[in-house]
Amino acid sequence: MTTMTETSARFREFKMPDVGEGLTEAEILKWFVQPGDTVTDGQVVCEVETAKAAVELPIPFDGVVHELRFPEGTTVGVGQVIIAIDVAPGSGDAPASAAAPAQEPVEAAGPGEGDGDAPKGRTPVLVGYGVAESSTKRRPRKGASAAPEAAAVAAAVQAELNGHAAPAAAPSVPAQAGAPDGGRPLAKPPVRKLAKDLGIDLATVVPTGKDGIITREDVHAAAAPAATTPVAAPAPSQAAPEAPAAAVVSDSARETRIPVKGVRKAIAQAMVGSAFTAPHVTEFVTVDVTRTMKLVAELKEDKDMAGVRVNPLLIIAKALLVAIKRNPEVNAAWDEANQEIVRKHYVNLGIAAATPRGLIVPNIKDAHDQTLPQLAASLGELVTTARDGKTSPAAMAGGTVTITNVGVFGVDTGTPILNPGESAILAVGAIKLQPWVHKGKVKPRQVTTLALSFDHRLVDGELGSKVLADVAAILEQPKRLITWA
């Protein structure tokens, strides 16, 4: 199966693919092409964000972009057509089915919503190569029998999808909240998603769109306080492309509601699941890392480390790997279904990275086998990819232990929450010059505080203490990287 459909021998449609992670929707972050642009097989046409990562989608054929079905910022279900391509430009007029869909885009029906036969199941596949086809016919509305009305609704929806307002028409009867004839309220999927995010019941929204369709503005009006006056936005210094409608801001507004979706939604769900599933224990140690800082300075001048980034995190990561080698029982996972402890004989070292889309934790596969230069290169690549928003779902799967460096924000330490499915997470605080007793005298030394959180089902206090003490001992005397390895 592919994610494209043929509307004719000339026009082909490309559907939102399943990225192979069992996800059901993705948000279109950015279009890299516009109608009229020429595209080639394998060319990236857009970037989408799933609940796990941002992913670039390539088009699987050559042609000219005929139509973009959804604007940036729209959340689209897997299997919905997002772009139409003219694969034989100049061969004639576009058929009506390619230029404008004959029916409204529909959202995936939830349990108990669909009528008729059950849709075919989706098959997870690689990005850009589609999913199993399924029926997307909309259920007939009660009392809706006239074809002209259906055509008008489709035209209004298509106009809004293309970013143009549908022609206004005075309603013959006063608009009322709720669904026509007691049926389901009329709204396209992005508007339904917006209402869900804002906690608005569409049955209570007064529609102003043509033929009773609920628009984004209707939802925002329902969400806004009744007695507020919108503040006029200052005129932009230059023309900018239209963006999806934002929340209404008013003089008396004291709150801003931000829809939680994509990576941030997944983070929230994962952290709640971790915090209330794994019994967390956190231990702390403050350590003199002056010798480690001297080693970092020396390695920066070492020709064997040329071309890679050397920083304290590199030595801390290596210290944790050595501590795990000395205490292998800490590298494990809890199998709830089978009531088993799964001991890992490899270390996929996670590094928590703050990105514009939220916190993600990609990991270095088989970090325990890497030399110091290799580990430095892996850390550099991991951080760069994360900051660019290009981390793949595979890069975030399969982690065993994690490091989170809160010190970069000037924080002394914290009590980190375990990455789901992992046994431990090490928080590294800010490295500061502090008074410290060294060789019987108080001297200024480079000091930091480490915090190790672990799953108490897997790691008891003695084992957790040994791991944390080993990391601290290595950072205090980095020559132990040689003697203990």
Active site residue 456: yes
- 362-382 burial, b at 16+ Cβ within 10 Å, e below that, comes to bbbbebbebebbebbbbbbeb
The pLDDT value recorded for residue 252 is 56
Proportion of the chain above pLDDT 90, given as a percent: 43
The pLDDT value recorded for residue 206 is 84
Separation between Cα atoms, residue 428 and residue 478, nearest integer Å: 16
Note the residue count of the chain. Answer: 485
- Average pLDDT value for the chain: 76
**70-84, 181-195, 207-221, 320-334: which range is least confident on average?**
181-195
The pLDDT value recorded for residue 362 is 92
**19-23, 98-102, 359-363: which range is least confident on average?**
98-102
Please give the structure tokens belonging to residue 485: 């390895």
Q: Do the domains at 147-223 and 264-483 have one common CATH topology? A: no
pTM of the predicted structure, to 2 decimals: 0.54
**171-175, 226-230, 351-355: which range is least confident on average?**
226-230
Sorting pLDDT into bands at 50, 70 and 90, what band is 113? Answer: very low
CA proximity to 200, closest of 183, 218, 186:
218
Which phi and psi angles does 356 have, rounded to 5°? -60, -25
Is 58's pLDDT higher than 50?
A: yes
Q: Are 86 and 68 in contact (CB under 8 A)?
A: no
The pLDDT value recorded for residue 155 is 44
C-alpha torsion angle, residues 208, 211, 212, 214 (rounded to 10): -70
The pLDDT value recorded for residue 49 is 81
Is 462's pLDDT higher than 90?
A: yes
pLDDT digits (tens, 9 = 90+) for 85-95: 999 887 765 54
190 or 28, greater pLDDT: 28
| 288, β-bridge pairs | 447
DSSP assignments along 294-362, one per residue: HHHHHHHT-GGGTTS---HHHHHHHHHHHHHHHSGGGSEEEETTTTEEEE-SS--EEE-EEETTEEE--
| 4, β-bridge pairs | 14
CA proximity to 89, closest of 98, 81, 101, 97:
98
Q: Are 478 and 292 in contact (CB under 8 A)?
A: yes
Q: Which of 164, 220, 280, 456 is catalytic?
A: 456
Instruction: Please tell me the CATH superfamily of domain 264-483, with its number.
Output: Chloramphenicol acetyltransferase-like domain (3.30.559.10)
241-267 average pLDDT score: 62
| 230, β-bridge pairs | 250
Domain ranges of the chain: 147-223, 264-483
Give the sheet arrangement for strand 38-39, strand by strand.
4-6, 11-15, 81-86, 63-68, 38-39
Please give the CATH topology (third level) of the domain spanning 147-223. Dihydrolipoamide Transferase (4.10.320)
237-254 average pLDDT score: 47
| 391, β-bridge pairs | none
Is 477's pLDDT higher than 80?
A: yes
Residues 6 or more apart whose CB falls under 8 angstroms from that of 157 comprise: 104, 105, 188, 213
The pLDDT value recorded for residue 198 is 77
Separation between Cα atoms, residue 77 and residue 23, nearest integer Å: 9
Separation between Cα atoms, residue 167 and residue 153, nearest integer Å: 11
Residues 6 or more apart whose CB falls under 8 angstroms from that of 415 comprise: 280, 282, 427, 451, 453
CA proximity to 277, closest of 459, 457, 403, 400:
457
Separation between Cα atoms, residue 295 and residue 277, nearest integer Å: 40
The pLDDT value recorded for residue 238 is 38
452 or 50, greater pLDDT: 452
**5-9, 64-68, 278-282, 448-452: which range is least confident on average?**
5-9
Sorting pLDDT into bands at 50, 70 and 90, what band is 84? Answer: very high
Is 313's pLDDT higher than 80?
A: yes
- 103-113 burial, b at 16+ Cβ within 10 Å, e below that, comes to ebbebbeeeee
Highest averaged pLDDT of the listed ranges 21-25, 92-96, 247-251:
21-25
| 44, β-bridge pairs | 58
The SS3 of residue 426 is strand
CB atoms within 10 A of CB 62: 14
